[in-house]
Structure 1
Amino acid sequence: MSGQYDVLIVGAGIAGSALAHALSTITSKLRVSPLRIALLERSLAEPDRIVGELLQPGGVAALQKLGLESCLEGIDAIPEHGYCVVQSGQIVHIPYPDGRRGCSFHHGRFVMALRERAKRAPGVDVVEATVNELIECQHTKRVLGVRATRPKSVEKESFFADLVIIADGCFSNFRNAVMGKALRESTTRSHFCGVILKDTQLPMPQHGTVALARGHGPVLMYQISEHDTRMLVAVKHPVPHDLKGHILKDVVPHLPASLHVAVHEALDKDRIRRMPNSFLPAVEQGGKYTREGAILIGDSWNMRHPLTGGGMTVALHDVVILSKLLAKADFRNWDQMSNLLSSWYWSRKPLSSTVNILSFALYDLFGADDENLAVLQRGCFKYFERGGECVRGPVSLLAGIAPSPTLLAYHFFAVAFYSIWVMFIHPRPAVNESNSDKPLMLSPHIWEYPGLVVKSVTVLWTACVVFGPLLWSEIRWW
């Protein structure tokens, strides 16, 4: 036995490291002695991932509440002031409201900074060990701790605690064991394929760039250090066999011409890395359907599409709420813990639901692969071009500073109805019989209106089909 702790945290990623620091900091002020916390991580080497590199303003605000904003310093991070969306050579600017700022960085450097703060927190032991299994009480099945193996050792050590928190990420090994009957299945509809562009200037510096390619997934680009710019290409499942050829042929022509050389060089020098974009709605924990003595946090419990960069914002916001609730809790009293976890679930719901729904709704619109979605995509672009509240509202949702599913539903269906208006009124590409290089744009003729009325119904129905299941997955009771 390696020791008895108050709390074991499995996984020293974003959520695990931040929670270890937060619990130590809060309880040091409330208790005579701080909690004894063991933070276990398979490898304490710097992680290397292609996602988790963009922190929205809402996530920056959560870091500040946790006293961890200094983790963004000294890692060559880049301030982000908003987005620009590129479609068919046109660009629309979507700034964060009220001077709010996000931040982009190499994921591994940020994680290492969080781990370092956790190591310095009173009562926290950071242990490099692979957790192999949960330790359960034979009679009650309550989780009492974990067995883990340190590097270069085959012997399993036992770590015991009154509470075990699982934060081992999207590929969690213990999700099934903890959630039991309450578990929902994760689904994967697409992948992000990433490379690093070297010394590249985006159309708007210090802004995330979203390029829309008709019939293909969106491309997301943002600078993550002085010399590195991340490019993520969304590819629908299954991934094409010739991935490089797909990107060169079907994606690159839709990017700004100034980026073509950098993309070609990156594809020649760097291997294309893939990450599944999974959806896992959160299920209320505690009660009789989840395992006593253990809870989940972060991607091990709740996942959404990384297109909007909201994952870390949700995780850090979860830590802010959960750490305050746990500070005065009796971990051995599972009835009390169940009530606490229910309070946490519903307190986090406005932000997590907004980010989760928005991530997949935007992916469906930006990755339009049928005629009705293409209408919604064009309408969305035109909606942003209107500026004012048509930009401020959506980007506040995206930034994680307006946690409101109601506001999200308002803007989503405002886009849907505006898309229908655009379909009737705005000029659209037509066949240019004069053989001129200049594209011919014509408004619909009045005799086309009956067909457009029918199409309007199918477009609105498509919007409902996109939004409805996502909303239901967040509001249904378990």
Structure 2
Amino acid sequence: MLDRYDVLIVGAGVAGSALAHALATSPRNPPLRIALLERSLDEPDRIVGELMQPGGVNALKKLGLESVLENIDAARVKGYCVADAGKIVEIPYPGGHEGRSFHHGRLIMNLRAAARRAPGVDLIEGTVTDLIEDSSSARKVIGVRASLKGAEEKKAFHASLVFVADGCYSNFRTSVMGAGAKSTTKSHFIGAILEDAVLPIPDHGTVALIKGSGPVLMYRISQHDTRILIDVKQPIPSDLKAHILANIAPQLPASVQLPLKNALDKDRLRRMPNSYLPATPQGRAYSKPGVILIGDSWNMRHPLTGGGMTVALSDIAVLQPLLAAVPDLNDWSAVQHALNRWCRERKALASTVNILSVALYDLFGADAPELEVLRTGCFKYFELGGECVNGPVSILSALAPSPALLTYHFFSVAFYSIWVMFTHPQPVPGRPEDKPRYAAASLHQYPFLLWKSVRVFYTACVVFGPLLWLELFAHEGPGRTTVVLGLLAALAVGTILF
């Protein structure tokens, strides 16, 4: 086994394995020699990375990896349904497109097998402990040091280019990108598997909106298994099972309540942080030369929309031809040029998926009166059907990667939410034991509703504006930054005057 390669990849998950296959099958003469290092080659057991949007399936096809979805008992996903207080609205994928959901570990094993079969790839089991830098070449990373399985001493591997794909808990993120590359965590998903559960609409993922808590996501991952992910905010209750039984289960569709209770009796609950990490452009002065982050080690979004694998695979599909055009991977200036193009070309899809995931979570996990109005308006917006469903689900599925289209629908929801607040019956306050009553707003309530409308629209701007800034403009040049700041200031002034 050689210790000198053209490319080293740290982490053989979705991103690392797909990248190894993509680079190995790129048209180069001679072919690249690639080392793919993974701490454990056993089948992983995780509660996320189990739902792939149609955009991710399309990316797999571009990479020649569509076969990894075969023979893993993967379920077809034809869309979503949103459940709120007994009401259900169907949100099918457009044009007959389908996603897939599966046991995460089975997909990873197929991806690793595909990478191992690719020409020039060595799949190596070992824990990478540190990056090797060339002290005479401006901190350039020239390799890694790893503890191999069964070996007493660490082994050094050298390469022209090093990729770090070690996931959301990356050990090397800050050393590559600096202390500013830190993720934020709003909540955790608590996961379990429901046996033989019946979802409200077959072959559709289900998002259940829970009053007083974050949303619950359910989707089938095999013939008999359905994944349930329950969003729990900080501080996490000390007795999770009791909390779920008392506060979550009664608000779920009736068909999944018994399977959930059975799962709580026999299965251990798993926990996963829901983190957000905007992508910082790579190959610039603040990042180390010779090394590139990819996948969740570099860019994360809320997993509510199931967009993580789609972004990672699409990133690789964009990066593959750009690196194939670099004759010598030792030429960091040429690699930098490719990275600059990559960061521009990936932005439409990645930013759309990322912004939607966090904004939708803020609406569905509403914990403020203004967000409650937006959540109600969002559900009723979906009930309108037509383009009010087709547009948002095209964005969610990564079939229409357009920040402009996302902005249009988000603020359409905001204005429609205000319309709903004025025109639709609203809950009438009363005693908890009384039957809920609803009534349309009366004329004397209009001044208060007008003031509340300002607050609702302002809240929509506060939710959406910073995300748009972080994803599209935060790392642009000073000229564009000034223009964007001016637009945001005008938006704020317009909101106040409104």
TM-score bucket of the superposed structures, by smaller chain: over 0.9
Out of 137, 153, 156, the residue aligned to residue 154 of structure 2 is 156
Q: How does 1:21-170 map to 2 (within 5 A)?
A: 21-27=21-27, 30-31=28-29, 33-140=30-137, 141-170=139-168
1:302-354 per-residue CA deviation (whole Å, 9 max, x = no partner) reads: 00100000000000000101111111312111111111101000100001100
Q: Deviations over 1:383-441 (max 9, x none)?
A: 000000000000011001111111111100100000000000011233689x986x433
Matched, 1:337 2:335: yes
The residue that corresponds to 1:204 in the other structure is: 201
- Between the aligned partners of 2:290 and 2:124, the Cα distance in structure 1 is 21
Output the TM-score relative to the length of structure 2: 0.93
Q: Output the CA distance in 2 between the equivalents of 1:224 and 1:254.
A: 22
Residue range with higher mean Cα deviation, 333-342 or 372-381 = 333-342
Q: Which of 339, 346, 349 is the equivalent residue of 2:347?
A: 349
One-letter amino acid of the structure 2 residue matched with residue 341 of structure 1? L
| Separation in 2, partners of 1:339, 1:287 | 10
Distance in 2 (CA, whole Å) between partners of 1:268 and 1:110 is 28
How far is 1:238 from its partner? 2.5
| TM-score where L is the length of structure 1 | 0.96
Q: Is the 8 A contact 1:2 1:157 kept in 2?
A: no
Aligned residue in 2 for 1:401: 399
CA distance in 1, matches of 2:453, 2:17: 49
- 1:373 maps to which of 371, 374, 379: 371
Where does residue 278 of structure 1 map in the other structure?
275
> How far did 1:266 drift?
0.5
What number of residue pairs does the alignment pair up? 472
**Structure-to-structure mapping, 1:143-292, within 5 angstroms:** 143-180=141-178, 183-292=180-289
Alignment-derived partner of residue 449 in structure 1: 446
Alignment deviations for residues 95-145 of structure 1 (CA, whole Å, 9 cap, x no partner): 000000000000000011000000000111100111111111122221111
Structure 2 gaps of 5+ residues are: 477-498
Q: Distance in 2 between matches of 1:288 and 1:470?
A: 24
Shift of 1:247: 1.1
1:78/1:105 contact within 8 Å kept: yes
Work out whether 1:3 is the aligned partner of 2:14. Answer: no
**Contact 1:104–1:222 under 8 Å retained in 2:** yes
Question: Take 1:176 and 1:436, find their aligned partners in 2: how far apart are those partners?
Answer: 55
Q: 2:146 & 2:3 partners in 1: Cα distance?
A: 12
* Alpha-carbon distance between aligned partners in 1 of 2:170 and 2:366, rounded to the nearest angstrom: 31
Indicate conservation of the 8 Å contact 1:81/1:207, yes or no.
Answer: yes
- The one-letter code matched in structure 2 to 1:209 is T
Contact conserved, 2:40 with 2:125, CA < 8 A, in 1?
yes
How big is each residue's C-alpha offset from its partner over 1:207-249, in whole Å with a ceiling of 9 and x where there is no partner? Answer: 0000001121000000000110000001112312221121111
| Distance (Å, rounded) in 2 between the aligned partners of 1:256 and 1:287 | 50
Quick one: distance in 2 between partners of 1:287 and 1:454?
Answer: 46
Partner in structure 2 of residue 16 of structure 1:
16
Give the structure 2 partner of residue 359 of structure 1. Answer: 357
Match for 1:246: what amino acid? H
Q: Structure 1 residue 323 and structure 2 residue 342: aligned?
A: no
The SS at the match of 1:129 is strand
Partner letter of residue 304 of structure 1?
A: R
Contact 1:215/1:370 (<8 A) preserved: no
Confirm or deny: 8 A CA contact 2:55 2:398 kept in the other structure: yes
Given that residues 173 and 181 in structure 2 are in contact (C-alpha distance below 8 angstroms), is that contact kept between their aligned partners in structure 1? no
Contact kept, 8 Å, 1:36 with 1:123, in 2: the verdict is yes
The structural deviation recorded for 1:152 is 2.7
Amino acid of the structure 2 residue aligned with 1:73: E
Partner secondary structure for residue 400 of structure 1: coil
Query: Contact conserved, 1:287 with 1:335, CA < 8 A, in 2?
Result: no
Structure 1, unpaired ranges of 5+? none
* Rounded Cα–Cα distance in structure 2 between residues aligned with 1:199 and 1:384: 29
SS of residue in 2 equivalent to 1:74: coil
Name which of structure 1's ranges 327-336 and 340-349 shifts more when overlaid on structure 2: 327-336
Matched, 1:383 2:404: no
| Counterpart position of 1:422 | 420
Residue type matched to 1:24 in 2? Answer: A
One-letter code aligned to 2:81: C
Paired amino acid for 1:267? L
Cα displacement string for residues 73-116 of structure 1 (whole angstroms, at most 9, x for unaligned residues): 10000000000000000000000000000000000000110000
- Describe the SS at the equivalent of 1:170: coil
Letter in 2 for 1:195: A
Preserved contact between residue 174 and residue 181 of structure 2 (Cα < 8 Å): no
Give 4+ residue runs of structure 1 displaced > 6 Å after superposition.
none
Aligned-partner residue type, residue 289 of structure 2:
E
User: Which of 292, 304, 309 is the matching residue for 2:306?
Assistant: 309
Counterpart of 2:155, as a letter, is E
Judge conservation of contact 1:188–1:237 (CA < 8 Å) in 2: no
- Looking at structure 2, the residues matched to 92 and 391 of structure 1 have their Cα atoms a distance apart, in angstroms, of 10
